[in-house]
């Protein structure tokens, strides 16, 4: 049986799926037709039901839950892994940082600042809305273009994810806030960034088998961390090996192997908070794969 599978070319995803798609584990007759896309493209594909299994942001999952169930394996959750809000102008960075710390509303001038975001339905944009609801002048960019857009003055603020969090300082850019840290301080939960979902119309046995195979693929990667280095490097935006492995260490952890009670609770809290703030629609569909 062949299934379509979508995930990003970022090191955390290629690290997770290397053993699965390259048959380093026994897939029990399942084959996977892989599509590599940035997270917002994957979000949109999920809305259209184009892939059998896909990575997507937890924000987007709220709009796709009727068609997809969340797997316990393959997720990106953790502490200290959140998106960063950055800018080129150090004075603007300090002013916004001080306002957030003091709980003060933004000035009229600040609300006109143009922000580059990696997609409307990304968890990063959801967290930005929690911290700075007044920042609404947004432009959607591919995540890898945000730093360069800040440097050339196309945007005033940038919301960065993935390996860009390791490179922005080298380019003279300044952090305003780590939105993951903001989430952690206000909830005491790990931050849910992205998960792996599977079409509900597939047989339950297939859904459970895919979940188990992804779990085994993560376990293989942990046991053999250099096994997929050529594959990971071939798809990474940042080619330096040390940066790739910093990225993997940040986003791949015990929650990638299995969400567990804590991971599921963090995701449920994010959904409940977002519904209460009218950031996502209410859904009565169970979020998680039934074991």
Active site residues: 162
Contact 130, 183 (CB under 8 A): yes
Cα 129 from Cα 256, distance rounded (Å): 26
209 annotated ligand binder: no
141 has binding-site annotation: no
* Measured torsion, CA atoms of residues 214, 216, 221, 222, in degrees rounded to the nearest 10: 120
Structure tokens, 209:
């088998």
User: Residue 273's closest CA among 152, 188, 167?
Assistant: 188
Question: For the chain, how are helix, strand and coil distributed in percent, rounded to 5?
Answer: 45, 20, 35
The residue with tokens 């169970």 is 286
Q: Which residue shows structure tokens 């409307």?
A: 120
Residues 6+ apart with CB under 8 A from 113: 92, 135, 137, 156, 157
Distance CA 158, CA 175 (A): 10
Confirm if 149 and 143 have CB atoms less than 8 A apart.
Answer: no
Q: State the alpha helices, DSSP H only, in 4-122.
A: 11-21, 39-47, 58-61, 90-102, 108-111
The H or E element containing residue 263 is: helix 260-276
CA distance 269 to 288: 14
Token pair, residue 147, equals 């730093």
19 is in an annotated binding site: no
Query: Which has the closest alpha carbon to 71: 210, 241, 249?
Result: 210
- Residue 217 annotated as part of some ligand binding site: no
93 is in an annotated binding site: no
Residue numbering of the annotated binding site for substrate: 55-57, 123-124
């Amino acid at each position: 049986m062949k299934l379509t599978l979508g995930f990003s070319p970022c090191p955390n995803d290629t690290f997770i799926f290397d053993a699965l798609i390259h048959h380093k584990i026994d897939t029990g007759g399942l084959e996977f037709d892989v599509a590599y896309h940035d997270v917002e493209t994957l979000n949109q594909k999920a809305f259209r039901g184009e892939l059998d299994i896909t990575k997507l942001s937890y924000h987007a999952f709220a709009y796709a839950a009727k068609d997809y169930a969340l797997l316990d394996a393959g997720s990106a959750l953790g502490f200290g892994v959140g998106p960063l809000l950055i800018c080129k102008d150090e004075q603007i960075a300090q002013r916004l940082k001080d306002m957030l710390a003091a709980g003060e509303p933004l000035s009229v001038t600040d609300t006109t600042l143009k922000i580059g975001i990696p997609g409307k339905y990304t968890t990063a944009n959801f967290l930005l809305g929690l911290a700075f609801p007044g920042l609404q002048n947004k432009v959607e960019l591919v995540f890898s273009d945000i730093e360069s857009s800040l440097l050339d003055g196309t945007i005033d603020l940038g919301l960065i994810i993935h390996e860009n969090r390791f490179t922005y300082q080298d380019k003279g850019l300044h952090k305003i806030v780590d939105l993951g840290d903001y989430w952690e301080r206000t909830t005491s939960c790990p931050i849910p960034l992205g998960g792996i979902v599977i079409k509900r119309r597939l047989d339950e046995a297939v859904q459970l088998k895919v979940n188990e195979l992804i779990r085994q693929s993560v376990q293989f990667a942990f046991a053999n961390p250099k096994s997929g280095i050529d594959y990971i490097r071939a798809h990474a935006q940042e080619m330096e090996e040390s940066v790739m492995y910093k990225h993997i260490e940040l986003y791949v952890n015990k929650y990638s192997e299995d969400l567990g009670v804590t991971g599921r609770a963090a995701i449920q809290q994010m959904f409940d908070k977002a519904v209460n703030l009218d950031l996502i629609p209410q859904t009565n569909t169970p979020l998680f794969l039934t074991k």
